[in-house]
Structure 1
Amino acid sequence: MDHISFDCHKNIGGNDCAEGQVPAYSYVGCDSHATQVAGVIGANRENNPLGIEGVAPGAQLVSVKVLNYCVVPNETESAKKYKGLAYLSGVVAAINWIAAQVPNNGLDAQFRRRLSAVANMSILWGGGGSPETNSNYISPAAQVALSNAISAAVAKGIFFSFAAGNANVDACGFYPAKIGSQLNGAMAVGALTNSGEPMRFVLGEAGKVAAYGPCVEIWAPGQSVQSTGAFPGISLQNEIFPNTIYPNEKIPAWGPGVPIPPNTSNMPAGLHYYLEGSGSSLASPHVAGAALLLARRRQLMNQPLPSPAEIEPTLMAKIKILPPPKDKYGGWGNPLPITPLPVRILTVDQF
């Protein structure tokens, strides 16, 4: 949200639904995850030769914070334990807050609310076990609460795009990815490589392998995705400096500085970066951006907005089918994700 590549006049506020104390820059995270996700959706490059163009450039962006503040250098282990967390109660509150803000754009012929907003959720819980053995554990009661909140929001015209996960496991074991397969108007998105295969290797992140299974309804680019970044302290922690494009062994990053007035920023000069990232967290906003493009196209054609339930099959009608991989293994000794093949890829250029 707070980046030179975003049209600050179109960003329309946000809310903080995180629990726990936050520092002065409460909307700025510790690893730039949200800023990267937002850039995939709506970064606007304009005429700058260096920069990022989102799927739906210039889209109105609303930041809703659900993670509490981050670990800082030299903190004790006990202090770290309660930081960088997202409580399900805060996430449900965030979804409810979004649903309370959206306009009523009328009903379609099936008496469903027409699109009022698009929500991206690049966050997940699940994997079984217990709270003691799994930090991403989600209880049955929390599963129901999250499902109910998302269902109610879809009923108010909000389309959801979910990250499917990166752990080389069945996405149906994780929330909200599982909800996407159960609800028209919400989709879980898997991460693809640049060659169109399910993500299975990321330099420096050997464990980052795409989730699979029937709950992954659609796939989009998710490996080595160039996007925006706003990471306080990145220069100190990773020896990354502004206006420099780094080789593969470091995070590619360069920074043009703060926006020119009247735009404002709470980030120091030089910390507006462009970062490369990988994972379904960056695949999911591609689908969110495509949903916005679909809605915009309807508006330009003077047609009524679609409902979230209509957006899902419309996106699925624009997929490109890829053949299954030739063998079970991808050359690194790791099994390919056991996804229902052929892989269904969203091709945004069709809009």
Structure 2
Amino acid sequence: MFSKRILNILLILNLPYFIISAPLTSDDATCPNLSGTNEPLIDYNVVLKTDATNYDSVVKNHFEMLEKCLQRERHNVHELDFSSIKDNNNVIFDFSVKGMIAGYTTKFTKSFVENYLSKLNDVAIVNENKVIEDPFENEVFKQAPFVRRAERLADKMPENFPLDLKYIYPDSAGAGVDVFVVDSGIFLEHEEFQGRQGKTIVEKTFCNNPADDNGHGTNVASLVGGKTLGVASNANIIGVKITGNDCPLTSQNIINGITYVMQQKANDPGRKIVLNLSATSTDSAVGDAASKAVEAGIHFVVGAGNRNLDACGFFPGKVETVVTVTASKITTNQQDWITDWCNWGKCVTLFAPGENVPVAGIGNPSEIKLESGTSLSAPHVSGAIALMLANGDFTPEQSKAELLRIASKDKIQGLKYRPTANVLLRVPSP
């Protein structure tokens, strides 16, 4: 006889009357039936439990169960043209990278997730895929047009801040390193990306429109490797578009962007890759993807966020192996301070310039303007790592340690109630 509790669960899920033993596995022969419920379908991000010994079997069994029971189309997001999808209700968006991460995004009812899916042995994480409101947190500060910095000077970079605005860097300037800017795309026609030794491309979009229609990705890319504004002007800049004016940023698209870069690393394990992300999420699935990206050998840099909150409350900045960057500013008396609005705390790796930073705009091919945000601090660090990788082989752990070794210490003022490592970026110099 069924217990009353089990019977109630079966009725909620509209399951056939069979005994569910705990814990469940996804290769159970009987399919739960979603068709009879009046609950709305909700997007969920699901990460599976896999390791080197069971990856193939877990992925095979779980996806066979999904396809059999849900009768939905399964698509590899890294190869998918998203403009071809007309009905998201009937799609399983598979973001798996063989041997690295297994997971997907699709729609379920809340009851199904709570009472069945989350109890499966092979499910590690299942979180609602939410739209991230104001993803860059109003970090754009409109200013008068800015004049480009002077050409490279030969003077030695000073040990102590404030800086004298002279920039010295290795002759290789990041050559041979691929920096993936996972953001809103890149305005490729901008002068900052013309005549560079490194290539500048938008390689993948998870939106219908590949153009950078809000400018954020262009801002970031110009700091990574722009011709006159960039830290590593010879690095390859590769855009991966995950948001835009008609493409709301979700944790799904952040995961898609991260795993796309992981797939490129899987395709060519020897490739030197830096991933720059300037968005945060509260979805632990984002953190899991970031952690696995670093395990795969990707140098991962993220902006801490701009809410004046503890950075440990957000992913992927909470992930210990990721380089989490918050924003400094130079005051009128030429001192280095923490900004009033940046996130802080023990999850922050270091500071980098983030207020009134000159960046490329999308208004016209020569537009340079001042903007602010930890989104602009992160690409300084991504460029610095590219400089390192161009001249040597570093694991992500080693590049993070080297950043901290050469950084300026105890120069940031104004920390007070915001305890944060007092470490300010210095780029490697010849």
Return the offset for 1:324: 6.3
Q: Which amino acid aligns with 2:258?
A: I
- Quote the residue 2:250 is aligned against: 87
Structure with more of its chain in strand, by fraction: 2
Supply the distance in 2 between the matched residues of 1:36 and 1:337 (Cα, whole angstroms).
31
Q: Is 2:306 aligned against 1:166?
A: yes
Alpha-carbon deviations, 1:70-89, whole Å to 9, x = none? Answer: 1xxxxxxxxxxxx4521111
1:154 deviates by: 1.5
Q: Give the aligned partner of residue 310 of structure 1.
A: 398
Match of 1:289 in 2: 383
Q: Tell me what 1:279 maps to.
A: 373
* CA distance in structure 1 between the aligned counterparts of 2:368 and 2:417, rounded to whole angstroms: 30
Show the 5 A alignment for 1:1-351.
1=186, 2=188, 3-7=190-194, 10-18=199-207, 22-23=208-209, 26-30=210-214, 32-45=215-228, 53-67=229-243, 69-70=244-245, 83=246, 85-102=248-265, 103-105=268-270, 116-125=272-281, 138=282, 142-143=283-284, 145-179=285-319, 182-183=320-321, 186-194=322-330, 195-200=335-340, 209-231=341-363, 270-298=364-392, 305-323=393-411, 325=413, 338-340=418-420, 343-348=422-427, 350=429
Distance in 2, matches of 1:59 and 1:169, equals 33
* Shift in CA distance, 64/337, structure 1 to aligned 2, threshold 3 Å: farther
Q: Which amino acid aligns with 1:190?
A: T
- What letter corresponds to residue 220 of structure 2 in structure 1? V
Distance in 1 between the 2:358 and 2:412 partners? 27
SS state of the match for residue 300, structure 2? strand
Check conservation: 1:210, 1:337, Cα contact below 8 A: no
Deviation per CA, 1:107-161, whole angstroms, max 9, x where unpaired? xxxxxxxx63001111112xxxxxxxxxxxx3xxx31x21222122222221011
Q: Please, what is the CA RMSD of the aligned residues? A: 2.1
| Native 8 Å contact 1:161 1:287 kept in 2 | yes
Distance 1:13 1:85 in 2: 18
Alignment-mate amino acid for residue 323 of structure 2: M
Q: How far apart in 2 are the matches of 1:285 and 1:294?
A: 14
Separation of aligned partners in 2, 1:91 and 1:37: 16
Instruction: Spell out structure 1 runs of 4+ moving beyond 2 A.
Output: 322-325
1:242 match? none
**What is the TM-score with the length of structure 2 in the denominator?**
0.51
The structural deviation recorded for 1:167 is 1.3
Question: Any idea what the Cα deviations from partners look like across 1:292-338, whole Å, max 9, x if unmatched?
Answer: 0001122xxxxxx111111110111011112564x77xxxxxxx561
The unaligned stretches of length 5 or more in structure 2 are 1-185
Within 1, Cα distance between the matches of 2:328 and 2:417? 11
SS in 2 for 1:286: helix
Q: Secondary structure of the equivalent of 2:336?
A: coil
1:260-314: CA deviation from partner (whole Å, max 9, x where unpaired): xxxxxxxxxx45411211111100101100000001122xxxxxx1111111101
Structure 2 counterpart of 1:41, which letter?
Answer: V
Aligned partner of residue 5 in structure 1, secondary structure = helix
Q: Which has the higher contact order (CA 8 A, sep 6+)?
A: 1
| Equivalent AA in structure 2 for residue 217 of structure 1 | T
Please give the alpha-carbon distance, in whole angstroms, between the structure 1 residues aligned to 2:423 and 2:297: 25
Ranges in structure 1 where 5+ consecutive residues have no aligned partner: 46-52, 71-82, 106-114, 126-137, 201-208, 232-269, 299-304, 329-335
Secondary structure of the 1:191 match is strand
TM-score (norm 1): 0.62
- Three-state SS of the structure 2 residue aligned to 1:172 is helix
1:62–1:55: structure 2 CA closer, same or farther, 3 Å change rule? same
Percent identity of paired positions between Structure 1 and Structure 2? 27
Q: How far does the alpha carbon of each residue in 1:227-251 deviate from its partner, in whole angstroms, 9 at most, with x for none?
A: 11114xxxxxxxxxxxxxxxxxxxx
Q: In 2 relative to 1, CA 349–312 (structure 1 residues): closer, same or farther, beyond 3 Å?
A: closer
